[in-house]
Amino acid sequence: MSWKKVIPSILALGVMFSCGQKPEVAPVLFAPEEFEVSLWAESPLFFNPTNMDVDQKGRIWVTEAVNYRNYNNDVGAFFHHSKGDRIMILTDTDQDGVADSSKVFVEDPDLVSPLGIAVLGNKIFVSCSPHLLVYTDENGDDVPDKKEIFLTGFGGLDHDHSLHSILAGPDGKLYFNTGNAGPHLVTDKSGWTLRSGSVYSGGSPYNTSNSGSQVSDDGNVYVGGLALRINPDGTGLEVLAHNFRNSYEVFVDSKGDLWQNDNDDQVVTCRVSWIPEGSNAGYFSQDGNRTWQADQRPGQDPFTAHWHQDDPGVMPAGDKTGAGSPTGMMRYEGDAFGSDFRGTLMSADAGRNVIFSYQPKRHKSGYDLGTRRILFSSVNEDDEGYVWNDTSFQNQKTKWFRPSDLVTGTDGAIYIADWYDPVVGGHQMKDSLGRGRIYRIVPKGKKLKSPELDSGTDAGLIEIIKNPAVNVRFQAFEIIRKKGETAIPMVEPLLKDENPFIQARAIFLLAQLGEKGLEKTSQLLQSKSEETRILAFRAIKAAGESKPVSPNQLLDETSAFLRREYSTAAIEMPWETRKVFFESLLGDFDVEDPYYVEVLGKLAEGNEEEALAIAKSRFPQTESGEWSKEMEVLIWRIPSENSVSDLLKRLENDQLEEKKQNYLLTSLAFIPEKNAAEAMFSLTKNTNPQLSEKAMYWVSFRQGNDWQAFLDWDKIGVDPAKIKQLASMKAKKGFLLEEKMALNDRKNQARTMAKDPIGGQILMEMITANALPEDLMGTVEELIFSNPDLGVRVQASNYFGSKSNGENYAPDYVLKLQADQVKGKTAFTNYCTTCHQVNGVGKNIGPDLTQIRTKYDRATLLDAIANPNGGIVFGYEPWLVKMKSGESYYGFVQGETAQNLLLKDLTGKQHSLSQAEIESKKQEIKSIMPDPAGLGMTAQDLADVSAYLLGLK
């Protein structure tokens, strides 16, 4: 196919309407010249689409999220389903490429913004936290006869960080995923319980409590978003990968590979990744108790920090796609677009108005995604800082293209669901009519039609297995599997199909056709084709073989990819067996292959000292005492107290280059042992200021987590002057409450406190608790706005309100003012850099505004500045924490364990607070950001600042 970067085919798109609804022009989509795009369906056939699936008849099923986050929107002003959200069935009855019929399958009060659907025969699985529901249509009349809760206990009610789509894998199991809005406490039909959570709470009124360090029945700690697999009967729930932020859809292809995209915290770090089984995707700390912001090291760039890429035990993040809101994932496996397009991986990004594409290839023991390209978009250029909402864009509803999902139809066409709104998600919906669209993409000049699929004959079953629509194949798979060995002759010819994805489906199916089928699959392990051997092994493993791999197989295998797969399967085996795998992998260890490094680390878990001893014999030191690169990497990945002295010796070398110094410091910092803590503390006394400063960071950082029990923190981390000042302010608080004391004397004490950072925080705590005597309120209000602590001033503004200065900050008014970007830069420096950064200038307290143009148009930005409480950004919800000592802290919670709370105050300083010493903590409902009056800004300042921010490049 001809990939042309900015040569669009501007298409005449059909428009549908009925019931008197006025039609609107559909967004113009740009596509390669080899493609034809048409509008297949639009409202009122359905509304606000979140996910799609295809049935055997070629119909498209759609989950609607009309009632999405109604707590943020005026129900009276927005389209609403009073009986619950719906599942719709859309049909192109005359196969002319346009849907002409829709019907409601179900409208259910339990459906509150469902985000996933799978049509598996007569069972329709629907993801809607806290439940994974199953509706059964027993007689085929498109009306559910039975409703069951398949699984329950997922967090994220009415939240987009919740339960997502379901796919039938090539092994006959169901694959699905959930976001990080835990906790997730889910028990499968066999009694196995998943317990997962993290420090993240918020995003909805229902997501109020969550925590990390939860242990599931397999003994593992899973955190953040999860990729999951389960048997169709509800048994065998297992975690395939964890620690995502909010992967919208994990796609499993016919070869058993997993693909995902993941959203970021508005720091231009979205990603697309291949997922090795057993991976930690790196969003939170490994126990889920700290955010990436809490773990970000000095000098670490946001992408590396956001996905913990410098930490041992974390999978490669994949392709950095930049700003956006990634949604649906799909790998195209059909033949309609030709063999060059077959295998294309597609990632929808609703924020960027685009479908990205990749041609992934196996590389070493993993995958290389290759070059990211635009496939379909409402813009004509791939820009990671893409401005989707400048004035002209925002005012053209034809460009409200918000792709939420994409699927392959039984006809081989590609279908894209469009949420259709100026903004992404229900935090601030602007399309009050809930409109949506589905586009259909076919090869230019081809008329694709849905075939008549017949599961009643062997030939018909094979045609279904060959069909590119993923979930359509599930029922045929089950029917053939139940035939057992008698089905082998009908399946074997597929092994020679020219489509490698069809070959893969045949191998997975063959392994489940009795002993003879399994034997034939085992023979494929001797194939000269690397791909055939990989698929045969995966199929044997999926068939339930208790020992799918032996060390001898590993010794004879030359494929790095398959050696990694074999070794991953051995991770749960006894050490004596794992040791053989570990030793064998060292034989062709490639330090530039992160997937190989990771499986070596997993094989060594629980036996680190012996594993490193084996490695040292394999990779001895040089005569000068230097480690080989292999040994250096293994010591980083396999933490052991036996490595501490060697690490300390090397770190004390003054000639060490900075990159290696950072690497060795990280290796030391991830050893959760006392001697590691003592070694790091000793480095804080080193005469090399660069080394001592970094060591002090690690000592300070580890105080609240892995090394908390190892050092005398009273001698290391306490500030005596601060304690003295706290005692003085607590005494003054007592004076304020002494009713017999003269009012003027009490006011003097209040004035002193109002001018002091600690005193001001105590005053604000008293005010919010209604504990400050009324006769002192005026005195405090008069002076508190000049407190040197920004956190105190923000709380005061939120409580007392900013004093009116007569300025009109209404966006409609400010938009009419002539804006000056140069003056805006000056105003931004004067008013905003105490909390925000732009291009590295300013303080890293509030969100970085360098890329704010990718999130807001001018009107929306003005509204956000004028009304900062209208929508608090995730991760910047303020908390007020009161200590038993009397001290208070105000800022952002960045991590929490049973022992400690990590809080970042409004100066950017992090405080590790002992839970045992916390008296109370309360999440504030107002933003930390003062309104323009509180900042002393004029309406003209507001106009200039907004122009400056939106003009940044």
Bridge partners (DSSP) of residue 715 are none
DSSP-derived 3-state class of residue 358 = strand
Q: Report pLDDT digits (tens) over 187-201.
A: 999 999 999 999 999
Pairing status of strand 251-252 against strand 414-418: unpaired
The CATH number assigned to the domain holding 252 equals 2.120.10.30
Which whole number is the average pLDDT over 804-814?
A: 80
Q: d(Cα 206, Cα 480) in Å, to the nearest integer? A: 44
Q: d(Cα 134, Cα 147) in Å, to the nearest integer? A: 6
Q: d(Cα 124, Cα 922) in Å, to the nearest integer? A: 42
Listed residues 663, 681, 707: the one ending a domain = 707
Q: d(Cα 56, Cα 590) in Å, to the nearest integer? A: 46
Q: d(Cα 234, Cα 138) in Å, to the nearest integer? A: 19
By CB atoms closer than 10 A (0-12, 13-18, 19+), residue 333 is buried
Q: d(Cα 584, Cα 606) in Å, to the nearest integer? A: 19
Q: How far is CA 606 from the centre of its chain?
A: 29
CB count in 10 Å sphere of residue 206: 16
Structural element, H or E, at residue 880: strand 878-883
Handedness of CA 330, 562, 216, 912 (dihedral sign): negative
Q: Which two tokens stand for residue 689?
A: 């200021």
Q: What is the dihedral of CA 653, 654, 659, 661, to 10 degrees?
A: 50
- Residues 661 and 755 both lie in one domain: no
497 domain-assigned:
no
User: Is it the case that residue 845 has pLDDT exceeding 90?
Assistant: no
Q: d(Cα 326, Cα 350) in Å, to the nearest integer? A: 6
pLDDT at 912: 92
pLDDT interval class at 12 (50, 70, 90) = very low
Q: d(Cα 611, Cα 649) in Å, to the nearest integer? A: 21
- Residues 748 and 896 both lie in one domain: no
- Residues 677 and 739 both lie in one domain: no
pLDDT at 10: 31
pLDDT interval class at 113 (50, 70, 90) = very high
Which whole number is the average pLDDT over 276-298?
A: 93
Residue-averaged pLDDT of the chain? 89
Could you tell me which of 264, 292, 277, 189 has the C-alpha nearest to residue 228? 277
Could you tell me which of 455, 373, 466, 454 has the C-alpha nearest to residue 412? 466
312 domain-assigned:
yes
- Residues 892 and 778 both lie in one domain: no
Q: Are 567 and 596 in contact (CB under 8 A)?
A: no
Pairing status of strand 319-322 against strand 837-838: unpaired
Q: d(Cα 834, Cα 842) in Å, to the nearest integer? A: 6
User: Is it the case that residue 39 has pLDDT exceeding 80?
Assistant: yes
In Å, how far are 70, 198, 267 from 864, measured between CA atoms?
Answer: 20, 29, 18
Q: Report pLDDT digits (tens) over 494-543.
A: 999 999 999 999 999 999 999 999 999 999 999 999 999 999 999 999 99
pLDDT interval class at 383 (50, 70, 90) = low
Handedness of CA 860, 861, 866, 870 (dihedral sign): positive
Q: d(Cα 13, Cα 96) in Å, to the nearest integer? A: 14
Which whole number is the average pLDDT over 345-368?
A: 96
Q: Which residue has the higher pLDDT, 745 or 86?
A: 86
59 domain-assigned:
yes
Q: d(Cα 242, Cα 225) in Å, to the nearest integer? A: 6
Q: Are 258 and 367 in contact (CB under 8 A)?
A: no
List all residues 6 or more positions away from 351 whose beta carbon is below 8 Å from its beta carbon. 323, 324, 325, 326, 388, 424, 854, 855
pLDDT at 399: 67
Q: d(Cα 607, Cα 581) in Å, to the nearest integer? A: 13
Q: Are 230 and 510 in contact (CB under 8 A)?
A: no
Listed residues 443, 471, 489: the one ending a domain = 443
User: Phi, psi at residue 533, to the nearest 5°?
Assistant: -65, -40
Residue with tokens 């300083």: 909
pLDDT at 719: 54
pLDDT interval class at 136 (50, 70, 90) = very high
506 domain-assigned:
no
DSSP 587: T
- Residues 767 and 733 both lie in one domain: yes
pLDDT at 387: 44
Cis peptide before 130 (omega within 30 of 0): yes
Bridge partners (DSSP) of residue 123 are 120, 136
Q: d(Cα 876, Cα 896) in Å, to the nearest integer? A: 15
Structural element, H or E, at residue 634: helix 629-637
Q: d(Cα 879, Cα 888) in Å, to the nearest integer? A: 10
Could you tell me which of 21, 11, 12 has the C-alpha nearest to residue 42? 21
850 domain-assigned:
no
Handedness of CA 811, 812, 814, 818 (dihedral sign): positive
270 domain-assigned:
yes
Q: Are 668 and 707 in contact (CB under 8 A)?
A: no
Q: d(Cα 265, Cα 286) in Å, to the nearest integer? A: 18
In Å, how far are 180, 248, 855, 892 from 873, measured between CA atoms?
Answer: 16, 19, 12, 11
User: Is it the case that residue 224 has pLDDT exceeding 90?
Assistant: yes
User: Phi, psi at residue 894, to the nearest 5°?
Assistant: -115, -5
Handedness of CA 237, 243, 248, 252 (dihedral sign): negative
Which whole number is the average pLDDT over 275-292?
A: 97
Task: List helix spans (H) across 329-472.
Answer: 391-395, 458-466
Q: Report pLDDT digits (tens) over 404-417.
A: 999 999 999 999 99
By CB atoms closer than 10 A (0-12, 13-18, 19+), residue 77 is exposed
- Residues 250 and 370 both lie in one domain: yes
DSSP-derived 3-state class of residue 696 = helix
Which whole number is the average pLDDT over 100-113?
A: 97
Q: Which two tokens stand for residue 907?
A: 């100066």
pLDDT interval class at 3 (50, 70, 90) = very low
pLDDT at 718: 47
pLDDT interval class at 802 (50, 70, 90) = low
Which whole number is the average pLDDT over 622-642?
A: 95
User: Is it the case that residue 18 has pLDDT exceeding 60?
Assistant: no
Could you tell me which of 867, 843, 871, 839 has the C-alpha nearest to residue 852? 839
- Residues 773 and 904 both lie in one domain: no
- Residues 902 and 761 both lie in one domain: no
pLDDT at 146: 98
Which whole number is the average pLDDT over 806-830?
A: 89
Q: d(Cα 931, Cα 798) in Å, to the nearest integer? A: 9
CA angle 81, 86, 91 (to 5 degrees): 125
- Residues 766 and 664 both lie in one domain: no
End-to-end Cα, the chain, rounded Å? 33
555 domain-assigned:
no
Listed residues 427, 443, 459: the one ending a domain = 443
Q: d(Cα 875, Cα 847) in Å, to the nearest integer? A: 9
Q: Report pLDDT digits (tens) over 668-711.
A: 999 999 999 999 999 999 999 889 989 988 998 898 899 999 99
- Residues 729 and 668 both lie in one domain: no
pLDDT at 932: 85
pLDDT at 874: 67
Could you tell me which of 326, 321, 333, 304 has the C-alpha nearest to residue 369? 321
Q: d(Cα 389, Cα 402) in Å, to the nearest integer? A: 13
CA angle 628, 633, 639 (to 5 degrees): 120
pLDDT at 21: 42
Total structural domains in the chain? 4
The CATH number assigned to the domain holding 891 equals 2.30.30.100
Find the radius of gyration of the CA atoms of the chain.
Answer: 30
pLDDT at 630: 97
User: Is it the case that residue 319 has pLDDT exceeding 60?
Assistant: yes
Bridge partners (DSSP) of residue 382 are none
List all residues 6 or more positions away from 338 whose beta carbon is below 8 Å from its beta carbon. 1, 443
Q: d(Cα 461, Cα 141) in Å, to the nearest integer? A: 22
- Residues 395 and 300 both lie in one domain: yes
Could you tell me which of 42, 897, 943 has the C-alpha nearest to residue 437? 42
Q: How far is CA 785 from the centre of its chain?
A: 39
Range of the domain at 730: 719-788
Q: Report pLDDT digits (tens) over 913-941.
A: 999 889 999 888 777 787 788 778 899 99
Could you tell me which of 398, 322, 399, 320 has the C-alpha nearest to residue 353? 399
pLDDT at 723: 56
556 domain-assigned:
no
pLDDT interval class at 740 (50, 70, 90) = low
Q: Which residue has the higher pLDDT, 740 or 615?
A: 615
Q: Which amino acid is at 276?
A: P
3-state helix, strand, coil split of the chain in percent (to 5) is 35, 20, 45
Q: Report pLDDT digits (tens) over 437-466.
A: 999 999 999 999 999 999 999 999 999 999
Beta strands (DSSP E) in 409-554 are 414-418, 437-443
Q: pLDDT > 70: what percent of the chain?
A: 91
When mean pLDDT is compared across 235-244, 284-293, 724-733, the lowest value belongs to: 724-733
Q: How far is CA 201 from the centre of its chain?
A: 14
- Residues 234 and 116 both lie in one domain: yes
pLDDT interval class at 785 (50, 70, 90) = confident
Q: What is the dihedral of CA 766, 770, 775, 778, to 10 degrees?
A: 70
User: Phi, psi at residue 818, to the nearest 5°?
Assistant: -75, 120
